[in-house]
Amino acid sequence: MRSVRKLSALALVVLGVSAVAPGGTPASAQPRAAKPATTPAVASKPRTVTLLTGDTVHVSTRDGQTAVDVVPGKGRERIPFITHSAGEDVRVIPADAVGLLNRGKLDERLFDISMLVGFGYDDTRATLPLIVKHSGAAPAGLAGARTTRKLFGASAVAESRADAVSFWNNVTSAASGTERQLRAGFDKIWLDGLRRPTLDVSVPLTGAPQAWQAGWTGTGVKVGVIDTGIDQTHPDLADRVAAAENFTSDPDTLDRVGHGTHVASTIAGTAAASQGRYKGMAPGATLYSAKVCVEDGCPESAILAGMTWAAQQGVKVANMSLGGPDSPETDPIEAAVADLTHRYGVLFVVAAGNSGEAGESTVNSPGSVTEALTVGAVTKTGWLASFSSRGPRASDAGIKPDITAPGVGILAARSSTSGLEPYYENPQYTSLNGTSMATPHVAGAAAILAQQHPDWAPEQIKSTLMAAAQPNAATGVYEQGAGFVNVSRAIQQTVTTSPVSVAFERTAAAQQRTITYANSGSSALTLAVSLDAKDADGTPAPAGLFSLSASSVTVPAGGTATVTVTVQAGADLPDRYFGGEVTATGGGAQVQTPVALDIARSELTLKLVGPDGGAPTPEQGWVTILTDLDRNGILVFDNPAVTKHRIRPGRYLVQTYLLTGDPYLPHVASLMRPSLDLTTDQALTMDTRLAKPIAVSVPNPKATAVHQEFGWTIRIEQPQIWGSNDPFGVLMGIPFDHLRTAQIGAGETTGFVSYVNGMWGQVRQGSLHNSPYVYRVYLYEPEKMMTGLTRKLGADDFATVRSQISADVSGVPVSRTAVAHAPGNSPIYRDERNVPPSFSYDVPSTITEYYNQDKQAVWQSTSAQLRYTYYQSAWTSFQPGRTYTVKWANAVAGPVFPEPNFGQQFATRYWGDLIGGPGPLHGDGTGHMGFRHVRGGSVEVNLYRNGVKVGDANQAPWAWEVPAEPGDYRLAATFRSDPAFTLSTVVDAEWTFKSGHVGDGELVKLPMTAIRYTPELNINNRAPANRLFAIPVSLDRQVGAAPGQTSALTVEASFDDGKTWQQLTVQRSGEKAVAWVHNPAGTGFVSLRAAATDTSGNTVKQTIIRAYRY
């Protein structure tokens, strides 16, 4: 629950568990064998996500750069889309959803593509799970969706991906301006997100045995286990489960994951299967099992239903060893924790999360809720587990987690229906790590207190456990909260504090908080009060930073007394966390209250000014998106009524959009501050009156604008091996005459580029197919946001490119796209399958394209027969007024190495001991890099080292981890094409070379050569028959590889698909040659086979069956 969010959601935070060897140590390492290694060259699996609105988002990675395409849903073709990408964070917001976001009617996560993919909510799933909050009875008959579960005041709904537009139109209605309204009776739509499930030594460490000796075992206390179910056949849990309910898609309450059983036995296991050895914290407690999780996660709707059921059963304590990414708003699970705590008196004990290695503010939802008792994990020797999530809570610097408990190497019951590894001494048990394992220790402790004090409210149990906890002096309060749970002290604790922790945000002014001590004992207590504070490194806090109003306080029996904590953060205070404990001791009592001071946060005050000079109104749609340039993430502010935002200091790009007018084709003002230094508080006025219009035209007045977009990109770090993945923002689908832009503030920003991109063509019967021409325009402004742009382009501003395109597969049209970028910045890529709308052509044919040339921009074009072939040009600049002729898909198709600055170099050794290869196996005769889809064909790639196979794959390119020592390598690849292809039906290539270890972060191109043929063929890739024919040969060594000259070359031809071969006469001069072949009479195919050796001993052999026809 945060005011803002910076999230790399593709790396979804999972409160998972991991099996460990006995004693909590990792299993012994095995020798590292050469094995396939996922690399950026092969790991960029495209993902498709259909949004709530019915629009489809395609996300992929190309040359190391994130590519995002949006295809509007049916009937939504005129809707613009706001797209932003930074690092792994991708957001796509349809224009007609902005108003509902402004008013808090839609969950932000519905448009967080990274999170949707991380949840597995891409289009491999037929439905999008939602939670619809409604007033009154659940709505019936929702078009495009079905209700899957009734919740308290809400319904779980499965929206059909195929009919999402109908659902969107059914639950919303267009109103004035860009504002859509939710249908009457609907209050809010949330994503039904996915959460993840996150003792012989550990239980005694908490002091539980001393509580048992005093008669407190949790007997009579009802404890809910909201998890994966409980194996009730386990001896330790026999007769411990009073009731069990299943809220998942599974057919029963069985625990097939094993997580819930492990948790349950840590709470209340009787140790029957271990002769009393592995007893739980509160063996007398009664368990209520709410099965809400299955192997692939825990739907939020199931969690809500399970929480409500457990509360209605009268549980006093509920264990939630699960969680998920915290969101900017109060999500449904957080709201339920707060509501059920107050309505039913349930104390929810929640895992903090296992993302501590990601740093600060990683406590997950719902552990972020104030009412939750949030648990971090420590080892059995009391040291913080590296994975344990930590604070502060981003919204207010609040201290979370609240308490810690053992969470490393925890032995507890193993479910007989799970696949968890049995413990070697006793297969009834298993050892797991995680804050999931720490949490039931505290839930059991709470059950003991609930037995001792049956009339206590949840906050009293929580405050007592925290007051009695034992802090570790070497661990910060944002990591451990009050410290390690101590049950033996808690059952004797008579003094508690309110609040249970005190946190201060960093401000220049002095701040004060009051701690109230309550004494439930029968006699007054005089307590000596002290405060010990230090920074995260253990250095004592500066004198005067923290102070107390009194050094002692007397708390009457049954009464209260107060002490005031003051913090004074001077201007010279180091920017680091400070924290410690206010400790009060006396009369045998001891209580500590964690106190912390947050690091400096900057306050950004945003003033939004509409076209009339006034403040935002309900008829306007506003959204402000900050790109964190230091940490490469995105912050979204979609409530224009909130003007002040506390943000981590750093450098930000700030962009505000205002949408007004027709909801299906709004007018948009885009305002940008390309770089804002937020090391101090800043006020920023985003005044839409400063925005100027965009107007761009082409020389042909009959040409129709078929795609127009406005965007920006910024280079914040130099490209590494696989490109820099520059952050970018794009407003897609907006006609230029509906767009106004402005830079806010003066100055230039290094690495920043704003641009407009457009395409014009001839639309006939609603189609661009076989358009006789296309104009491609890219105009950019370096280091500034465009404040409007007017450009009337004439014929002399364009180069003419005539592309002769052959057909690899008959009857399949070719799709043509092009992308441009400014020097020093990554292009905003598109997938040829998606938008901007590609121009398609029947082939073979010759087409005409016009490209403008703006400053130093470069173009890259692609040609693809969809789902069959893909070709890509090198980056090219054009000279206006000049005509170029380019051939595409011309034979002979074979291995081609990409141009030097291609982002994904394939034939390489990199990152120490990874070898990737081979290069593209189907470049065309012009030298365009090319790939074929396998379809009904096959690929076989093998890598040998010193004669021994060390890697194989059934796709190319691939990559393998290899030994560091130098070796002799042979890389062999065979690609058998789908039967639809008639040329280059088989490409077989083999390279030999030497390779050894390279430095981390380095990329060394392997000394490999491609043998490329460029015969003069007609557009059907046919040569004259019955005549002597020249085949030019190029020996294309990979640019950047170690130098080497060709020392030998042989070329052979076959006229019977490789059954027999004949040697050809070859005339060679350096790396160029001509092979002479006599094409037979009639019709048929010529296959080519060649071998070459260089002066360093590297070799290449290539065989291409059916290289060209005659």
| CATH number of the domain within which 788 lies | 2.60.40.2190
Sign of CA dihedral 488, 491, 495, 500: positive
Q: How far apart are CA 554 and CA 562, in angstroms?
A: 9
Q: 197 pLDDT band (50/70/90 cuts)?
A: confident
Hey, what amino acid is at 985? T
Residue where the block lists tokens 């990979």: 1038
- Same domain? For 975 and 1010 the reply is yes
* Closest to 655 measured CA to CA, from 754, 757, 782: 754
Residue 989 clears pLDDT 90, i.e. is over it: yes
Give 23's pLDDT tier (boundaries 50, 70, 90): very low
Q: Are residues 951 and 1061 in the same domain?
A: yes
User: Which of 444, 422, 487 lies closest to 269, judged by CA?
Assistant: 444
Nearest to 435 by CA among 350, 317, 360, 373: 350
Is 920 within the bounds of a domain?
A: yes
Verify that 972 and 1068 share a domain, yes or no. Answer: yes
Interacting residues of 455 by C-beta distance below 8 A, sequence separation 6+: none
Domain-located, residue 571: yes
Residue 762: closest CA among 700, 845, 852 = 700
Structure confidence at residue 907 (pLDDT)? 79
- 1086 and 975 part of one domain: yes
pLDDT at 8 over 60: no
Position 44 pLDDT exceeds 80: no
What is the total residue count of the chain?
Answer: 1110
Q: Chain centroid to CA 595: how far?
A: 34
> Residue 488: which domain range?
455-598
User: Which of 887, 916, 946 is the last residue in one of the domains?
Assistant: 887
- 150 pLDDT more than 50: yes
Q: Output helix, strand, coil percentages for the chain, rounded to the nearest 5.
A: 10, 40, 45
Q: Among all chains, which residue has been given the structure tokens 């308290």? A: 152
In the predicted model, is pLDDT for residue 902 greater than 80?
Answer: no
Cα-atom radius of gyration of the chain, to the nearest Å? 33
Distance CA 878, CA 710 (A): 22
Report the catalytic residues.
227, 259, 436
- pLDDT (0 to 100) of residue 766: 81
Q: Which of 887, 917, 951 is the last residue of a domain?
A: 887
- Strand, helix or coil for residue 400: coil
Average pLDDT score over the chain: 90
The rounded percent of the chain whose pLDDT value lies above 70 is 92
Indicate if the pLDDT at residue 978 is higher than 80: yes
Q: Please state the rounded mean pLDDT for residues 1104-1108.
A: 99
Give the pLDDT confidence score for residue 50 in this predicted structure. Answer: 97
Is 1031 within a domain? yes
Residues 835 and 940 in one domain: no
> What would the mean pLDDT of 804-813 be, rounded to a whole number?
96
Question: Both 803 and 951 in a single domain?
Answer: no
- Please tell me whether residues 839 and 965 are part of one structural domain: no
**Model confidence over 355-390: pLDDT tens digits?**
999 888 999 999 999 999 999 999 988 999 999 999
Q: Are 322 and 298 in contact (CB under 8 A)?
A: yes
Q: Comparing C-alpha atoms, which of 927, 899, 930, 916 is closest to residue 973?
A: 916
CA distances 645 to 105, 688, 689, 874, Å, are 21, 20, 23, 45
Report how far residue 822's alpha carbon sits from residue 782's, in angstroms, rounded to the nearest whole number: 8
Residue 951, strand partner residues: 943
Give the model confidence (pLDDT) of 539-575 as tens digits: 999 999 999 999 999 999 999 999 999 999 987 888 8
933 and 881 both lie in a single domain: no
809-855, pLDDT tens digit by residue? 999 999 999 999 999 888 887 655 444 557 899 999 999 999 999 99
Report helix, strand or coil for 777.
Answer: strand
Asked if 920 and 870 sit in the same domain, the reply is no
Kindly tell me the number of DSSP H helices and DSSP E strands found in the chain.
12, 72
Residue 52 lies in a domain: no
The position carrying tokens 């661990």 is 475
CATH code where residue 536 lies: 2.60.40.10
Q: Does any domain span residue 795?
A: yes
Give the residue-averaged pLDDT of 62-91.
87
CB 1010 within 8 A of CB 897: yes
Which whole-number Å values give the CA distances from 909 to 330, 721, 996, 1095, in the listed order? Answer: 48, 11, 8, 21
Residues 1071 and 979 in one domain: yes
pLDDT of 14 > 60? The answer is no
Domain boundary (887, 919, 951) is at 887
Q: How many CB atoms lie within 10 A of CB 143?
A: 13
Query: In this structure, are 934 and 791 located in the same domain?
Result: no
**Cα dihedral: 416, 417, 421, 422 (round 10):** 10
**Model pLDDT for residues 429-443, shown as the tens digit of each residue:** 999 999 999 999 999
Q: 435-452 vs 259-268: helix axis angle to the nearest 10?
A: 30
Is 134 domain-assigned? no
The H or E element spanning position 1053 is strand 1046-1054
Tokens 């981890």 locate to 961
Task: Give the separation between CA 89 and CA 11, rounded to whole angstroms.
Answer: 10
Whether the predicted pLDDT of 742 surpasses 90: yes
> What's the structural domain count of the chain?
3
pLDDT of the residue at 63: 64
131 falls within a domain:
no
Q: For residue 28, what pLDDT is reported?
A: 21
Residue 601 has pLDDT above 90, yes or no: no
Given a cut of 90, is residue 762 above it in pLDDT?
A: yes
Q: Is residue 166 part of a domain?
A: no
Residue linked to tokens 């905003």 = 828
Average pLDDT over residues 773-792: 97
Look at residues 816, 936, 937, 807 and name the one whose alpha carbon lies nearest to residue 873: 816
pLDDT(175) > 60:
no
pLDDT at 26: 21
Question: What pLDDT does residue 432 have?
Answer: 93
Residue 16 has pLDDT above 70, yes or no: no
Paired strand residues for 609: 687
Residues 871 and 933 in one domain: no
For residue 344 the two structure tokens come to 């039913």
Tell me if residue 391 falls in helix, strand or coil: coil
Answer for the pair 889, 924: CB distance below 8 angstroms, yes or no.
yes
